[in-house]
Chain A
Amino acid sequence: MIDHMPFIVGAYAAFFIVLAYTAAAPVLRGRRIRQAVRRYQQRLKTASEQPGKRP
């Protein structure tokens, strides 16, 4: 008789791994984008306060 448990565990593991990655990846990417945008805005602000300095 075949043991069903490894198939069930494997299927649920695949489900959780793929969905966890799908959920986490954009959250982490969003954080990086927001940091980059803030840094860019900070550089622009610094440049506008010190016109001689390139941003």
Chain B
Amino acid sequence: MNPIVRFIHQTGSPAYFYRLSGRLIPWLWAAFVPLAAWGLIQGLFFAPTDYLQKETYRIIYIHVPSAWMSMMIYAVMAILGMIGLIWRIRIAELLAISCAPIGAAFTTVALITGALWGKPTWGTYWVWDARLTSELVLLFLYLGVMGLYAAIDEPRKAARAAALLAMVGLVNLPIIHFSVEWWNTLHQGQTIKLIGKSTIDTRMLVPLLVMAVATKFFFAANLLTRARNQLLHQDRRKRWTKAVLGGEPGIGEAAS
């Protein structure tokens, strides 16, 4: 069998997923902590001061990675939900629903830090412009997905309903991304570009990119932890849980 196909099949097994994720989580935290520490220290103390916004711009090192994560996590959630819906892969459903609280947390951080950045630069904490409003809609979508999942008793039906809502909400992502180009907004346009030259100094950019990478590790570690909990809770009466929790010789609990 093709190794990739075999890996996908293996990951679909609850016991295999539980053990594999348990082994991965400590490594993901181990990558997150030094990267986040370095990025924050560089950003707060060593990056040069902005000529216009002065020190307030240092909020960028938490605001921008959080905003990027809020959108990326939503896309991941919708894709996993789609995989769960089409191929009925239960682990994908669990991962999709586990994305929602993490995405909601990053969206909340993006909104709060954005408001605190807005006051000294724009003179107001909040304005109903396209970027801010569409980001707020994203938070409501996350809360909607979580609420819908919690409202249905049967977990697999709940996951499918939540996945559908997540997929519908995908339409909001291009609106958030292009809002600063499509409408006149108070929010500034893109400073960092994948294609073309970024209009930010390299000494400011590097800590920002490091923080962006660090938040990915945070997401991955948190996602796997939440998915393991969901899996163990749902399968608490199944045989494999006895094996992974040390009930049978030779198979110990992998982590935590």
> Are B242 and A41 neighbours in the complex by a CB distance under 8 Å?
yes
> Are B109 and A14 neighbours in the complex by a CB distance under 8 Å?
yes
> Are B116 and A14 neighbours in the complex by a CB distance under 8 Å?
yes
> Are B247 and A15 neighbours in the complex by a CB distance under 8 Å?
no
Nearest chain-A residue to B112 (Cβ)? A14
> Are A4 and B120 neighbours in the complex by a CB distance under 8 Å?
yes
Nearest chain-B residue to A10 (Cβ)? B116
Question: Within 8 Å CB of B37, what residues of A?
Answer: none
B6 within 8 A of A: no
Size class of the contact patch on chain B? 35 or more
Question: Within 8 Å CB of A51, what residues of B?
Answer: none
> Are A11 and B117 neighbours in the complex by a CB distance under 8 Å?
yes
Nearest chain-B residue to A38 (Cβ)? B245
> Are A33 and B116 neighbours in the complex by a CB distance under 8 Å?
no
Nearest chain-B residue to A37 (Cβ)? B236
How many whole Å from A47's CB to the nearest CB in chain B? 13
**For window 30-44 of chain A, which residues contact chain B by CB distance below 8 Å?**
30-31, 33-34, 36-38, 40-41
> Are A29 and B56 neighbours in the complex by a CB distance under 8 Å?
no
Selected contact of A41 from candidates B63, B66, B228, B247, CB within 8 Å: B247
B175 within 8 A of A: no
Nearest chain-B residue to A21 (Cβ)? B105
Size class of the contact patch on chain A? 20 to 34
B17 within 8 A of A: no
How many whole Å from A21's CB to the nearest CB in chain B? 8
Selected contact of A19 from candidates B105, B116, B229, CB within 8 Å: B105
Question: Within 8 Å CB of B193, what residues of A?
Answer: none
Cα separation A4 to B60 with both chains bound (whole Å) = 14
> Are A27 and B225 neighbours in the complex by a CB distance under 8 Å?
yes
From known contacts A7-B116, A14-B113, A38-B245, infer whether A30 and B228 are also in contact, taking CB-CB under 8 Å.
Answer: yes
> Are B66 and A34 neighbours in the complex by a CB distance under 8 Å?
no
How many whole Å from A2's CB to the nearest CB in chain B? 5
How many whole Å from A50's CB to the nearest CB in chain B? 18
Question: Which of A21, A22, A31 gathers the greatest number of chain B CB atoms within 10 Å?
Answer: A22
Residue positions of A touching B, CB distance < 8 A: 2, 4-5, 7-8, 10-12, 14-15, 18-19, 21-23, 26-27, 29-31, 33-34, 36-38, 40-41
